[in-house]
Structure 1
């Protein structure tokens, strides 16, 4: 009977050890699954956050380009050189803002978006230069036209020289 009791005790101990090992394995599997779920959720949240940052930087850049373009488009010829110079000086802070936001886009975006931002910024700057040049030319033309009655010979000579320049 003593031998049977020992066997039963050993069998009970083995069963307890196997149950404990199975319980640990199950707990470990549950822990790993929970950890994987938290990692996956963290990754999803990070991707959403990153997309939000990118979207905000793209929108801010586009708004700054539009402000720069709108300001440049509203440059009109003026008979006063100082007035035109002061209005064109207003482009500088807008250009600086556009450049700053463009760098943020380049840092946050993929290469295709960075290249598109550089191209858009260059196009906006070039357009502003052309508009500013046109406003200066039109101001000069208006000034020359205003002087026709006072100095007709000099104005005629200027009109002859303009195509040469």
Structure 2
């Protein structure tokens, strides 16, 4: 009887031990499986993040390259437009007719190109470009204002070279009267430092007051210019105004604007080159501020 009980107890204990071992083994296997699963998930997540970072880096690099090319094209278009205007505005390059329309068209192209530079930035380049445009506007205004005088000089030169003796004589008289007007302006502006008259018939003007001389010579020049074939009142008035500005020294303003336009354009080109060649943490050519 006792042996039977012992046997049953042993069997129960053995079964319990076996069941415990099986449970432990199963739990261990489950833990290993979960650990492997988590490792696989972590590896997959790491791979995904690396791929995502790479895709973002490639997209950012592509965007930077696109922005850089857009900015370079904007700067190049602006430089070309201002260069065209500058060349057309050079005194030796200006055609006798149609100059105003050409210059105004070139200014419109320059301002259109400047608008794109404003969009692309950065601000230091926008400021330099704005200075360039300001000189372009002043040059265009001066040429537009003086276009009638430019045409009047062409008419006067043509009449001086005419085969018609009467036309040539009238043109010579107008040219001399215009010169005398210029001398009167200089005398009025500079006093004794002004050039003196050289012709004997102009000598009495030296005894006149500077103001009276200027008025008298202005009227004489207008009358003489009216006798030149094809000369209009607008052209005569413009020619006298230009002559007066030149004699007073104000005519050099256009030359100064040409020089300043060349300097500011060079400054813009240098700054644009530095900006496009620069590399920062944000990437080249991205800043618009």
TM-score, shorter chain, exceeding 0.5: yes
Asked whether 1:36 is paired with 2:60, we answer: no
Asked whether 1:11 is paired with 2:31, we answer: no
Seen in structure 2, the aligned counterparts of structure 1 residues 98 and 152 have a Cα distance that, compared at 3 Å, is closer
After superposition, where does 1:92-103 map in structure 2 within 5 Å?
92-103=104-115
- Give the equivalent residue in structure 2 for 1:149: 169
Seen in structure 2, the aligned counterparts of structure 1 residues 148 and 160 have a Cα distance that, compared at 3 Å, is farther
For the residues of structure 1 that align with 2:79 and 2:30, how far apart are their CA atoms? 72
For the residues of structure 2 that align with 1:122 and 1:156, how far apart are their CA atoms? 38
Consecutive unaligned residues in structure 2, runs of 5 or more: 1-17, 161-166, 186-213, 215-243, 245-289
RMSD across aligned positions (CA):
2.7
| C-alpha deviation, 1:121, in angstroms | 1.9
| C-alpha deviation, 1:138, in angstroms | 5.3
- Tell me the secondary structure at the aligned position of residue 170 of structure 2: coil
Seen in structure 2, the aligned counterparts of structure 1 residues 44 and 151 have a Cα distance that, compared at 3 Å, is closer
- Give the equivalent residue in structure 2 for 1:91: 103
Asked whether 1:105 is paired with 2:124, we answer: no
Bigger proportion of residues as helix:
1
Asked whether 1:75 is paired with 2:75, we answer: no
Seen in structure 2, the aligned counterparts of structure 1 residues 108 and 57 have a Cα distance that, compared at 3 Å, is same
**Larger Cα-atom Rg:** 2
Paired residues of 1:72 and 1:132 also in contact (CA < 8 A): no
- The alignment covers a number of residue pairs equal to 158
Please point out which of 128, 133, 143 is paired with 1:121: 133
TM-score, structure 2 as length reference: 0.48
Consecutive unaligned residues in structure 1, runs of 5 or more: none
For the residues of structure 1 that align with 2:174 and 2:67, how far apart are their CA atoms? 64
- Please give the per-residue CA displacement for 1:13-42, whole angstroms capped at 9, x wherever unaligned: 011011111111121111111111111111
Paired residues of 1:75 and 1:88 also in contact (CA < 8 A): no
For the residues of structure 1 that align with 2:180 and 2:121, how far apart are their CA atoms? 52
- Give the equivalent residue in structure 2 for 1:24: 41
For the residues of structure 1 that align with 2:171 and 2:30, how far apart are their CA atoms? 120
- Tell me the secondary structure at the aligned position of residue 36 of structure 1: helix
TM-score, structure 1 as length reference: 0.80
| C-alpha deviation, 1:157, in angstroms | 4.4
For the residues of structure 2 that align with 1:34 and 1:75, how far apart are their CA atoms? 61
- Please give the per-residue CA displacement for 1:100-157, whole angstroms capped at 9, x wherever unaligned: 0111011102001111111122223333445566765555455556477227666554
